[in-house]
Amino acid sequence: MKPFTEKVITIIQNIPAGKVLTYGQIASLAGSPRGARQVVRILHSLSGKHGLPWHRVLNVKGEIGFKDSSQSNEQRLNLECEGITFIAPNTIDLEKHKYNPFEHF
């Protein structure tokens, strides 16, 4: 497994319940600021294998990225169960719920 992929997996595994990160933020934290699409591919292909909390990853606008209503509804329900509130049908207040991995230091 490539180092970037390993870092992405670790970052996603460490997003706590009730918090989210964007694809781009994860890419930046993993060392590739322009690697958001690569994060999407990693999530798509490795979420099940690594038990990743995929529902805690949103797009840069704080929106659920799925066009499929079944997956979109599942992500929304998972986020709401963790206390995340929505300001529009598929949009959260990103600043309110964004995870900052550095805030405890």
Predicted local distance difference test score (pLDDT) of residue 67: 81
Distance CA 58, CA 61 (A): 8
What are the pLDDT digits (tens) for 56-66? Answer: 999 999 999 88
> What mean pLDDT is reported for the chain?
94
Instruction: Pick 3-97's CATH classification: 1.20.1560.10, 1.10.10.10, 3.40.50.170, 1.10.1740.10.
Output: 1.10.10.10
How many other C-beta atoms lie within 10 A of the C-beta of residue 81? Answer: 11
Domain extents in the chain: 3-97
Identity at 73, one-letter amino acid code: N
Predicted local distance difference test score (pLDDT) of residue 105: 41
3-state secondary structure of 23: helix
Residue 75: band (very low, low, confident or very high) from pLDDT cuts 50, 70, 90: very high
